[in-house]
Amino acid sequence: MISIENLSKQYGATTVVDRVSIDIERNSITVIVGTSGSGKSTLLRMINRLVEPSGGRVLIDGNDTAREPAHLLRRRIGYAIQGNGLFPHRTVAENIGTVPRLLGWEQARLRTRVDELLTVFQLDPTEFAGKFPHQLSGGQQQRVGVARALAAEPALLLMDEPFGALDPIIRAKAQDDLLDIQRRFGTTIVLVTHDMDEAFRLGSRVAVMSRGRLLQYDRPAVLLMHPADPFVSQLTGLADRAMRLLSLTTAGEAAVPDSSAAPGNSNRPAIAASISLRDALSELVWRGADSAAVIDANGAPCGQLTVAAILALGRPR
């Protein structure tokens, strides 16, 4: 969907982004991760031309973004930032309606969309539509910020450290919500963060940047098992890389058909198919069990998992 080709940005003699090329698939979440000053935000901001590239180009669906007036381009692309940037003088509904109004939507359509988004983000429209941002909690403001970015049904959503200002519990909730939203609307998301856990949790692909250069761009498991650069393994963390690897696979994905060799073993704990292998292993260690039955959301069995099988999956392949 998006092709970033040899994109560079120089400020005077300093190169902030150095010939970065990335292809981003439709309906995926791509996370750009790096330390501060790595050029990750600049790279993101060149996609909607908040920063004009010094070299290279960005193609969206094959069209060069430089051919279009920047403000019109930006109205087609959702944009959410850290600290949400809500307009303090406008109500929640007015904030969310910003881009649709710029695009000249009819009032009825706009209202329906605002109500739909508020509902999706678990904010009761009758209660929240008329409130001002300062009347909301930090987590609610952040949700309104993302709802505003999605208001005009953009196919692409750019997020610059959107959860950076949230406390850990609300942040985990916001990340889950984002995964739901992505599945529901099928939006292509490009997200910038310095938090490796967030990158692994959200990203179907992760781009690691350092000093303006793209070090590696691949699936999270590949980043762990085959880091292209010492900096990548340093960033992904050496001490708990096996655990990180396990956290990338769910119990359901790793379950194997039940051998039914031990049908009478009713002490075997049951674990949900949706939890990660990391959590499954933790559960087995806690229970002192060697294996567990994996059950789906309806409680139906869908295979089994052994500690040995989990451990095997925690090794590089």
Partner 1 sequence: MNAQPLPTTQARRSRIDPLGALVSAVGAAAVLWLPFVVFKPNRILPGDPHALAQVLPPTAAVGCLLALALVALAALGVANAWLRLGAALLGLIVVAAAVATAGNLLTPAGNKVVRVAPGAGFWVLLVAVGLMATDAITRLRPRPIVRVLMLALFGAITGLALALGVFDHLSVMREYAVNAGRFAHEARQHVWLALGSLGAAVIVALPLGIVCHRVPRLRGGILGALNVVQTIPAIALYGILMAPLGALAAAVPLAARLGVRGIGAAPALLALFLYSLLPVVANTVAGLARVSPAAVEAARGMGMTRRQILTGVELVLALPTILTGIRIVLVQNIGLVTVAALIGGGGLGVFVFQGIGQTAIDLVLLGAIPTVALAFSAAVLLDALVETMQRSRQP
Which residues sit at the interface with partner 1, rule CB under 8 A? 48, 50, 71-76, 79, 81-89, 98-99, 102, 132, 134, 145, 148-149, 158
- In whole angstroms, the minimum distance from the beta carbon of 299 to partner 1 comes to 44
- In whole angstroms, the minimum distance from the beta carbon of 94 to partner 1 comes to 11
Which residues, including other chains, have CB under 8 Å from residue 251's CB and lie 6 or more apart?
271, 272, 273, 274, 275, 276, 277, 279, 280, 292, 294, 305
* 3-state secondary structure (DSSP) of residue 32: strand
- In whole angstroms, the minimum distance from the beta carbon of 227 to partner 1 comes to 33
- In whole angstroms, the minimum distance from the beta carbon of 13 to partner 1 comes to 22
Residue with smaller CB distance to partner 1, 52 or 229: 52
Residue with smaller CB distance to partner 1, 102 or 308: 102
Give, in degrees to the nearest 5, the angle at Cα 196 between 306 and 232. Answer: 95
Token duo for residue 241: 């890389």
Residue with smaller CB distance to partner 1, 41 or 304: 41
- In whole angstroms, the minimum distance from the beta carbon of 72 to partner 1 comes to 7
- C-alpha to C-alpha distance for 155 and 186, rounded to whole angstroms: 8
Residue with smaller CB distance to partner 1, 12 or 263: 12
Burial classification of residue 57, based on how many CB atoms lie within 10 Å of its CB (0-12 exposed, 13-18 middle, 19 or more buried): middle
Which residues, including other chains, have CB under 8 Å from residue 233's CB and lie 6 or more apart?
227, 241
Residue with smaller CB distance to partner 1, 2 or 224: 2
